[in-house]
Chain A
């Protein structure tokens, strides 16, 4: 009996290997062209903000479009939406003051959504903004949307019970991070927060104490979705948001399945970006990333018109990319989520060492360690390429594998000993091992220290953290330098804990530059941020830019029109349709 068992087990394993080994990997077709040119502007012509949106070539009406995701969307209530899945689901049933017209290839135009234009800077000092609301915009029950309902939506975002949404507008209106104590929503239900007024049904007016030139961008977040006060169900709005977009909630089995039906009261002529092609959208939650991707790859039955929201896992990438027949069913696109090797500037005060680190980095090896070009794309700038005004440059030309000679020259014989803190999750452990080997080849001495995964973010945000290097990630809420550079590198914001400026970089000349550029009209800021980005890197090298995450998504053979949002880097569904 036993020898036969051994033979059977051995045979089975040998078979698996034989199947896997029969093809030779020659490395052909494994380079990915994911170049896209990012251009971002704010629409000056009101016509850009008018509907209807241009037809998607080949799009047809009808069918059910399914989206499979591992975990449920944390919040559906627009005022509480901040997760990527939520931000991608919301446009289906919520409209905002402004929105991005996105061609899926990096071309972005900020247009008015419910507003006729992306905002009027009344006194040209960014302190007073006015939005005119379009005619013919309606809720799902046919009532017209006016400035009052939009203002109410913003007001309810002050409610401390309705947390976890973005807080830009609230903080700017209240002029303090503690906005919910400054203006209590529950006690003032009939009124509006300070600075927010509706002079008439068609006008929404913001007045700020300080210049807030980024307001047109900030109101493109779901905080500005309208809601009639009588439809406000408080925390329960999460289960059934009240629709102003092309779809409405048909049923919601919380945590399992969300079904969206067409909203007949949505008028395409008022909407510059959304379409209403499928009869139904279904969000299905539960399968792991592996399972969901395998299901969509198999392309059976209802999965033919499905899309796996979780990116193709690194372990499946070779399978998907190696299959030519899958090529038409994948979307590949770099995202705005940028990753850096953050240098703790309080500890590593020697500019030469920081520059040497920049020369030493082997980006090609790092990308391979992460799973290849479908997972990460090398980055040499502080802002990701998807930022308005992005300027491509290499302050420290390291080549694909690092420039060891240049490192040796800068270090002048010394061996800096640095401590690299990595979270104990799979990806960061991998990055840590890779970086340690890479930097030690170049002449550094690296000590790896593990940080518990769930505590890592809090720990590196502490000013006196004990590490010299750690991995940082930043995905901006809108593609403007203003939501990246001052947030990450303004030294005046450094406090004891909870810092976004994780490199603890502080230079008065750069801080002054931030103030200068922030006071400029938003449309003129772009190129200035690009220039400042290069200047910070050349003069101070506060971090080592590593890579941007790459979105790699599979959809079924009948699913069409989905594209990777140039703003958030996740699949967008405003153009989605089902092929017959």
Chain B
């Protein structure tokens, strides 16, 4: 990751100097901020463990169809013959067997493991895409508003306030049926990609405001610092000022807000799907699964446990990694 404009140059110069001199001088070798951050990150065990967990989750999600092939059960297959008369899974721990690793859903009798894997894919994709889009919009608008100020700042602030004031649920609820009708008519199958798209769109429209405000504040604080003044005085253009001088210094809060946004989007996706915005019951979704399983806390705790522990691990890993990343990038900040 390139964090400083001088990184490459400085590195080359110092290293060439080092090569010429005595080898024992290597231990005072100069390192770029990026390298230092990476080293700090490597040294942090929590960061490594949570990072590996995140990668495992990502791989599992991406490999969902492959896992389905290996596992031999699809996300929509029903095994109602393995349910008792009340629709509860037979056997131990919600129907856990060698064939159904995490047991079966009560009622419909679908396999929890494969739905979890597919659900992870849907939900992680939605949450990641939404978080990336909101972060991008937020950062761009925030830096522009903060750095340029004046009428642009006023306009962007005004848009932010307007977006915050808009009733999110009402608009989402009103918009979805209209869009569905516009694109699919009254009788056509609504594809799950459409539901995913609507969810990402809704999150993108309403989710960028907090990042924008955060970034704007940070940029305003940095704007009058000496190094910025110096760069401006030496005649740096707008692009250089924004991307080389300001942004590298506010990565930490952006990353933290990003890492907090992802789990928040996963849970919002569940809530929204439930009121009819976004995904239907057919599309395996992590959030929806958790939402539904909560009813069975007393009678089929295993059904709550498997999705519950997964989202717990996912969110926990995300937060820990986000924390560690911030520490690594900005070691001076107090914790």
Contact = CB atoms under 8 A, between A and B. Distances in A.
Interface stretch (A14-22, A74-82, A525-533, A563-571): A14-22
B298 A316 contact: yes
Contacts of B312: 9, 13
Contacts of A21: 92-94, 96, 301-302
Contacts, number: 136
A-side interface mostly: helix
Interface in A201-233: none
B80 A16 contact: no
B80 A365 contact: yes
Contacts of B86: 30, 317-318, 321, 368, 371-374
Interface in B291-331: 292, 295-302, 304-305, 308-309, 312, 316, 320
B280 A20 contact: no
B189 A447 contact: yes
Contacts of B107: 314, 368-371, 430
A46 interface: no
A17 B93 contact: yes
A27 interface: yes
B186 A449 contact: yes
User: How big is the A interface, by class?
Assistant: 35 or more
B268 interface: no
B300 A318 contact: yes
Nearest to A318: B299
B84 A25 contact: yes
Interface string A236-272: 0000000000000000000000000000000000000
B187 A430 contact: no
A27 B187 contact: no
Given A16-B305, A419-B187, A31 B276 contact: no
A314 B276 contact: no
B78 interface: yes
A16 B87 CA distance: 21
B188 interface: yes
A430 B296 CA distance: 15
Contact of B276 (A27, A371, A437, A452): A452
Interface in A362-388: 364-365, 367-374
A434 interface: yes
B83 interface: yes
A372 B84 CA distance: 8
Interface in B86-119: 86-96, 106-109
B92 A24 contact: yes
Interface residues of B, number: 50
A328 to B, nearest CB: 19
B276 A424 contact: yes
B46 interface: yes
A434 B108 contact: yes
A541 to B, nearest CB: 22
Nearest to A445: B189
Interface in B257-286: 274-276, 280-282
Nearest to A319: B299
Interface in A477-497: none
Contacts of A449: 186-187, 190
Nearest to A26: B90
A371 B106 CA distance: 8
B280 A448 contact: yes
Contact of B88 (A17, A25, A370, A467): A25
A447 B76 CA distance: 15
A466 B187 contact: yes
Contact of B301 (A20, A369, A452, A453): A20
A368 B320 CA distance: 41
A199 B246 CA distance: 95
Given A437-B78, A449-B186, A17 B305 contact: yes
Most buried by A among B89, B109, B187, B274: B187
A309 to B, nearest CB: 20
A448 B188 CA distance: 9
16 contacts: A17-B305, A27-B90, A30-B86, A314-B107, A317-B86, A369-B108, A370-B87, A371-B86, A373-B86, A424-B275, A424-B276, A430-B281, A447-B187, A448-B282, A449-B186, A449-B187
6 shortest interchain CB distances as A-B pairs: A20-B301, A372-B86, A30-B85, A21-B93, A424-B276, A466-B186
